[in-house]
Amino acid sequence: MKIRDVIEKTGATVLAPGDAERELAGAISGDLLSFIMAEAKEGWLWITIQVHLNVAAVAVLKDVPFILVASGRAPEQALVERCAAEGISLAVTKLPAFEAAGALRELAR
Amino acid sequence: MEEYAILAGDFSAIGEASTKFKATLKMLGIPSDLVRRASVIAYEAEMNALIHGGGGVLRMTVYDDRLEIVARDEGPGIPDVSLAMQEGYSTATDEIRELGFGAGMGLPNIDRNADSLLIETEIDKGTTLLATVIFPSP
């Protein structure tokens, strides 16, 4: 599953492109930053409703290449800029995290 | 050695010192799994110093055989360290929690990623945390 596939499947709007052709190694969903710090692995997709700048710091530190913001929440401009600068893909889907994850389960089959 | 100030109330900058540390470690050619472990330690220590300690200093020193991360603040201190080490225990405010901090996982995350962890704390004086990551012998 590539970043591009996830964006298409969830109808997401891309705010920072990153590398859309990158193959994802796994995925995690969560809004507690320390939980993501503990559990996320390199190359994973992260689904969250957090939209502040620190989301980018966690992604950088854990080598997470793609942040998918759920429920149509609008990321702070500082987050968009930081993701762009770090080469991290950032996209927003109108789907809630549960629905987005469900759509991706179909894709992964 | 690298040292950064963690400024009180500056939540937007949180994670800045640890991301700079990470860049330095990568530049030094440290293996990526060790870099990620050190990054988790630095980030959580930085967050703790800011959220609970009212800011402080984060310092990283790389030796031949290990790296040390020190976080120092002059905050209220930790009344019960063993309680603070428990996963899920947090004294963070609701406002902080809404941002996704204060999960009560910071110190456990540090402990899990460090080969040794030392916490010196005194009520109303502050807290100093020393975490060490040992490099595997070649």
Residues in chain A: 109
A58: tokens are 């966690």
DSSP, res B55: S
Q: Which residues of B touch A37 (CB under 8 A)?
A: 40, 43-44, 105, 109
Q: Which CATH number fits domain B2-134: 3.30.565.10, 1.20.1560.10, 1.10.3720.10, 3.30.9.10?
A: 3.30.565.10
The yes-or-no verdict on residue B12 having pLDDT over 90 is: no
Give Cα B21 to chain centroid, integer Å: 12
If we measure between CA atoms, which residue out of B76, B102, B86 comes closest to residue B14? B102
Residue of B nearest to A86 (CA): B19
List residues in chain A touching B: CB distance below 8 A.
Answer: 31-35, 37-38, 42, 48, 50, 52-58, 60-63, 78
Looking at residue A95, its pLDDT comes to: 98
Looking at residue A24, its pLDDT comes to: 96
Render pLDDT for A36-55 as a digit per residue (tens, 0 to 9).
999 999 999 999 999 999 99
Q: A35, exposed or middle or buried, with CB in 10 Å at 0-12, 13-18, 19+? A: middle
Higher pLDDT, B14 or B6: B6
Question: Can you list the domains of chain A with their CATH numbers?
Answer: 3-108 (3.40.1390.20)
| Mean pLDDT, chain B, whole residue set | 93
Inform me whether the C-beta atom of residue B15 falls under 8 Å from chain A C-beta atoms.
Answer: yes
Residues in chain B: 138
Render pLDDT for B66-106 as a digit per residue (tens, 0 to 9).
999 999 999 999 999 999 999 999 999 998 999 999 999 99
List the helix and strand counts (H, then E) for chain A. Answer: 5, 5
List the helix and strand counts (H, then E) for chain B. Answer: 5, 5
Q: Where are the domains of chain B?
A: 2-134
Q: What is the ipTM of this complex?
A: 0.87
| 8 Å CB contact between A87 and A18 | yes
